[in-house]
């Protein structure tokens, strides 16, 4: 009997030690750690917007684009015409049929920006730099940053350039390694992330590229998800497919808005119907003792998926489902949540958190 008891005790001790070792995962990166979910506003934002100033062909005039977004409830807007700056919002000096708009009167933040599009397109905001022609994306990015200390950038619609089914040579242009090199070349305060939703999600594999990059970069190097309409149209039917919600104490503070980009204090969504309402995030709670992350959602949804890395088919990999993710035994370097509502071809919506980063404490 005594021998059995000692064997059982040894088994229990070994089991407990193994549990302790496998439960040594620590959350070291929480982009929402400083968000007051009860007080902060969820400010609807579009940072990739074109106007008649560069596109013509039926595109909205600058003041018309602003009016459309204002009427749709947006609080932050950047006009990002191709290789030109359409800013400030005093447009009457540009053309006789352009009207001025007052951001303060509209209750909006007017963000200066430009889509640099002579190479892999990227959007620079908080900048009025108009770059000279160059096929080198890094050189253009350096010019943007040298022109303004506040400038910050994100890569636009990567699905136009990279191919999920292609096997790339080492260092080949637009390979996943090429994207990682850009994020290693520039800091998170300079190059914040990439667009994972663009327009009506015309590049549906961009979220999979995002996960592939996160699997290599996190938690040391954050890559935040951006979501924008890339508006080129003339009316409200082309607004509100791809949205971002920035979590701000003061919705009229440009410096706080810029900080939310750097820190990842925003979430993104896509709806198959332009202008439809996606699930919104009411709160994200981190329980340190239980080692859990919980998401509370407002609006209809079917499932919360927790995603980390990619599978054998190079697709984003769901590792858990439910409103709470227990990470104590998780061996990955990051996790992100996808809140999915799916009721048929048109009535589909998805909302994504930014990634949370982990460290694995070795025994």
Residue 342 scores a pLDDT above 80: yes
At residue 17 the predicted structure's pLDDT band, cuts being 50, 70 and 90, is very low
In SS3 terms, 104-170 reads as HHHCCEEEEEEEECCCCCEEEECCCCCCCCCCCHHHHHHHHHHHCCCCEEEECCHHHCCCCCCCCCC
Residue 241 scores a pLDDT above 60: yes
The whole-angstrom separation of Cα 31 and Cα 187 is 16
Residue 288 scores a pLDDT above 50: yes
Cα 29 to its chain centre, rounded Å, is 16
Query: What pLDDT does residue 239 have?
Result: 95
Residue 307, classed as helix, strand or coil, is strand
% of the chain with per-residue pLDDT over 90: 87
Query: What pLDDT does residue 18 have?
Result: 42
Strands (E), 189-279: 191-198, 224-228, 242-248, 266-271
- What is the tens place of the pLDDT at every residue in 127-146? 999 999 998 999 999 999 99
User: Cα dist. 184→179, 230, 234, 327 in Å?
Assistant: 9, 26, 38, 27
What is the average pLDDT across 212-237?
Answer: 96
Domain ranges in the chain are 31-270
User: Cα dist. 131→85, 118, 207 in Å?
Assistant: 10, 10, 29
3-state helix, strand, coil in the chain (%, to 5): 25, 30, 45
| Contact by Cβ (8 Å): 73, 108 | no
Query: What pLDDT does residue 128 have?
Result: 96
CA count, 13 A, side-chain hemisphere, 165: 0
Query: What pLDDT does residue 9 have?
Result: 44
Strand 76-79 and strand 280-287: the pairing is: unpaired
Phi and psi at 196, nearest 5°, equal -105, -20
- What is the tens place of the pLDDT at every residue in 156-199? 999 999 999 999 998 899 999 999 999 999 999 999 999 999 99
Interhelix angle for 137-147 vs 176-185, to 10°?
Answer: 20
- Looking at every residue in the chain, the average pLDDT score rounds to 92
CA count, 13 A, side-chain hemisphere, 341: 21
CATH architecture of 31-270: Alpha-Beta Barrel (3.20)
Query: What pLDDT does residue 361 have?
Result: 77
- What is the tens place of the pLDDT at every residue in 67-96? 999 999 999 999 999 999 999 999 999 999
Residue 152 scores a pLDDT above 70: yes
> Residues 154, 65, 106, 148: is their CA dihedral positive or negative?
positive
In SS3 terms, 279-306 reads as CEEEEEEEECCCCEEEEEEECCCCEEEE
The whole-angstrom separation of Cα 172 and Cα 180 is 12
| Contact by Cβ (8 Å): 48, 195 | yes
């Amino acid at each position: 009997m005594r021998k059995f008891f000692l064997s059982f005790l040894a088994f229990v001790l070994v089991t407990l030690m193994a549990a302790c070792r496998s439960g040594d995962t620590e959350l070291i990166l929480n982009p929402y750690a400083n968000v007051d979910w009860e007080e902060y506003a969820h400010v609807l934002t579009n940072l990739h917007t074109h106007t008649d100033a560069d596109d013509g062909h039926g595109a909205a005039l600058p003041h018309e684009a602003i009016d459309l977004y204002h009427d749709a409830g947006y609080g932050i807007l950047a006009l990002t015409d191709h290789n030109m700056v359409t800013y400030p919002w005093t447009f009457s000096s540009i053309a006789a049929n352009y009207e001025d708009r007052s951001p303060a009167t509209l209750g909006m933040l007017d963000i200066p920006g430009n889509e640099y599009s002579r190479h892999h397109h990227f959007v620079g905001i908080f900048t009025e730099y108009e770059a000279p022609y160059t096929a080198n994306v890094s050189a253009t990015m350096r010019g943007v940053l040298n022109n303004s200390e506040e400038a910050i950038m994100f890569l636009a619609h990567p699905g136009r350039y990279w191919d999920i089914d292609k096997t790339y040579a080492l260092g080949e242009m637009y390979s996943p390694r090429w994207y990682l090199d850009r994020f290693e070349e520039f800091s998170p305060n300079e190059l914040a992330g990439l667009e994972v939703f663009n327009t009506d999600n015309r590049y549906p594999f961009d979220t999979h590229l995002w996960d592939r990059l996160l699997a290599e970069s996190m938690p040391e190097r954050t890559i935040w998800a951006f979501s924008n309409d890339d508006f080129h149209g003339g009316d409200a039917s082309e607004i509100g497919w791809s949205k971002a919600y920035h979590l701000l104490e003061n919705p009229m503070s440009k410096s706080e808005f810029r900080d939310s980009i750097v820190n990842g204090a925003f979430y993104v969504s896509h709806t198959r119907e332009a202008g439809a309402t996606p699930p919104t995030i009411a709160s994200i709670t981190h329980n340190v003792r239980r080692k859990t992350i919980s998401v509370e959602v407002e609006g209809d949804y079917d499932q919360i998926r927790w995603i980390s890395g990619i599978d054998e088919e190079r697709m984003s990999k769901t590792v858990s489902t439910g409103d709470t993710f227990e990470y104590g035994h998780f061996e990955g370097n990051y996790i992100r949540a996808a809140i999915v509502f799916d009721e048929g071809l048109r009535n589909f919506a998805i909302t994504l958190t930014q990634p949370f980063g982990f460290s694995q404490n070795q025994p």
